[in-house]
């Protein structure tokens, strides 16, 4: 099974460089081939709002591939129907990154398209995505009001013209997203899971997770992403379907995760507000790592179990607690979900059993 490289922190540029180096990503570029970087600029917004890719992910890619001799590097994307890509480019901070690194940006709303045969019929796909020597998918892991989750596969929807985006919605999203993922099959996926939104692809309720991961299979990346969100593959229908269509493998092996550092290397979770504060009203935290706390938030969101007393954080080491402990730091609790950090799926199961 494909390896998944994972790292914790808040410096997207440095984290990206370390992931690409650990995975020897240059081996994915065909000799003399081009690299097209495909971030998520779905709407006009800032990365800290939980919708768009941190510009440091793109600058990290540019520095890495340039240092390895790749000359033809570009950034490609189109926003959703109703927003202007160039406005999203500016607001995200990516325009400044493209200027600084002298990398061309192409608005795919203006690109030529070619029809591609897929299991759901022909889909018009933007030429710059199809012709890339290596297409690098740079999604944000976040919630989605229709598909529950969006990550590597759904991010590719930015590689089709607006008329096809509208048609995808008319087709119910699941099948065309799976078919597009199998047809485009990016050779590298670097997931920005630093602060993706809880519910919506347009952001507004970011959950600070301070994590990134890399995988060469977009279907495996999404299978792992669903697990991190506390969702089963049945709840995100396009993942297994993409595997059926030949887009990759809808599974991951925990033994294949290469951890480049520990969750405690990232900053502690900042005091939650708004919807996250409501979800965690029975949670007592003391120096909780962001990844641990974010997984708990996702599990509370998925299960709706906000009626249980929960302890989390490094400050609970060696202490006892009557309720549910989350993470190995809380093994002194009456019941504990072990792991460092435990996944949202593990926490959700414990909440449902409580």
The correct pick among 61, 289, 297, 302 for binding ligand SF4 (CB under 6 A) is 289
Q: Return the residue nearest ligand SF4 (CB atom).
A: 327
Binding footprint of ligand SF4, residue count (CB under 6 A): 13
CB of 258 to ligand SF4, least distance (A): 17
- Binding to ligand SF4, residues 294-333 (CB under 6 A): 313-314, 327-329
Nearest to 246 by CA among 225, 215, 217, 224: 217
Residue with smaller CB distance to ligand SF4, 159 or 292: 292
Distance CA 180, CA 248 (A): 12
The correct pick among 17, 89, 226, 292 for binding ligand SF4 (CB under 6 A) is 292
Q: Does 275 bind ligand SF4 (CB under 6 A)?
A: no
Distance CA 81, CA 313 (A): 42
Residue with smaller CB distance to ligand SF4, 62 or 296: 296
Question: For the chain, what is the largest distance between any 2 Cα atoms, rounded to a whole number of angstroms?
Answer: 62
Asked whether the CA dihedral 211, 216, 218, 224 is positive or negative, the reply is negative
- How many other β-carbons are positioned within 10 Å of the β-carbon of residue 36? 24
- How many other β-carbons are positioned within 10 Å of the β-carbon of residue 323? 17
Q: Are 35 and 29 in contact (CB under 8 A)?
A: yes
Q: Which one of 63-71, 95-103, 194-202, 286-294 is the stretch in contact with ligand SF4 (CB under 6 A)?
A: 286-294
Distance CA 287, CA 156 (A): 37
Residue with smaller CB distance to ligand SF4, 226 or 329: 329
Q: Which one of 18-26, 176-184, 215-223, 289-297 is the stretch in contact with ligand SF4 (CB under 6 A)?
A: 289-297
Q: Which one of 136-144, 188-196, 283-291, 296-304 is the stretch in contact with ligand SF4 (CB under 6 A)?
A: 283-291
Q: Which two tokens stand for residue 317?
A: 């080491």
- Binding to ligand SF4, residues 230-269 (CB under 6 A): 263-264
Residue with smaller CB distance to ligand SF4, 238 or 316: 316
**Strand, coil or helix: 243:** helix
Residue with smaller CB distance to ligand SF4, 133 or 315: 315
Lookup result for tokens 């993470």 = 327
Distance CA 222, CA 151 (A): 6
Distance CA 147, CA 149 (A): 5
CB of 289 to ligand SF4, least distance (A): 3
Q: Which one of 36-44, 58-66, 187-195, 285-293 is the stretch in contact with ligand SF4 (CB under 6 A)?
A: 285-293
Helices 174-184 and 162-170 meet at what angle, rounded to 10?
130
The correct pick among 288, 297, 311, 333 for binding ligand SF4 (CB under 6 A) is 288
Q: Are 46 and 52 in contact (CB under 8 A)?
A: yes
Distance CA 187, CA 35 (A): 10
Distance CA 95, CA 108 (A): 15
The correct pick among 291, 300, 302, 348 for binding ligand SF4 (CB under 6 A) is 291
Q: Does 74 bind ligand SF4 (CB under 6 A)?
A: no
Q: Does 340 bind ligand SF4 (CB under 6 A)?
A: yes
CB of 338 to ligand SF4, least distance (A): 8
Binding site for ligand SF4 (CB under 6 A): 263-264, 288-289, 291-292, 313-314, 327-329, 340-341
């Amino acid at each position: 099974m494909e390896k998944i490289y994972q790292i914790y922190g808040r410096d997207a540029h440095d984290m990206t460089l370390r992931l690409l180096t650990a995975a020897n990503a240059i081996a994915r570029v065909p000799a003399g081939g081009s690299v097209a970087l495909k971030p998520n600029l779905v709407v006009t917004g800032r990365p800290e709002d939980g919708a768009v890719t941190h510009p440091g992910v793109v600058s990290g890619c540019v520095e890495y591939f340039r240092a390895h001799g790749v000359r033809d590097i570009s950034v490609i994307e189109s926003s959703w129907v109703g927003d202007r890509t160039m406005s999203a480019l500016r607001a995200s901070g990516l325009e400044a990154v493209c200027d600084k690194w002298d990398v061309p940006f192409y608005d795919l709303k203006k690109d030529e398209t070619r029809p591609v045969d897929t299991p759901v019929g022909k889909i018009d796909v933007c030429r710059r995505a199809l012709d890339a020597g290596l297409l690098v998918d740079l999604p944000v892991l976040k919630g989605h009001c229709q598909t529950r989750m969006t990550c590597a596969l759904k991010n590719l929807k930015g590689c089709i013209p607006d008329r096809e985006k509208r048609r995808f919605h008319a087709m119910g999203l699941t099948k065309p997203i799976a078919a597009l993922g199998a047809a485009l099959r990016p050779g590298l996926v670097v997931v920005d899971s630093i602060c993706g939104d809880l519910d919506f692809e347009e952001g507004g309720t970011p959950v600070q997770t301070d994590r990134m991961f890399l995988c060469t299979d977009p279907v495996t990346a999404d299978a792992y992403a669903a697990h991190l969100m506390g969702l089963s593959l049945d709840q995100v229908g396009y993942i297994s379907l993409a595997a059926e269509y030949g887009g990759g493998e809808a599974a991951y092996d925990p033994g294949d995760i290469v951890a480049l550092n520990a969750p405690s290397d990232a900053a502690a979770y900042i005091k939650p507000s708004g919807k996250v504060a409501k979800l965690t009203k029975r949670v007592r935290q003391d120096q909780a790592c962001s990844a641990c706390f974010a997984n708990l938030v996702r599990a509370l969101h998925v299960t709706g179990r906000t009626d249980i007393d929960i302890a989390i954080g490094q400050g609970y080491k060696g202490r006892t607690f009557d309720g549910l402990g989350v993470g190995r730091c809380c093994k002194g609790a009456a019941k504990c979900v072990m792991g460092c950090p435990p996944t949202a799926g593990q926490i959700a199961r414990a909440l449902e059993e409580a």
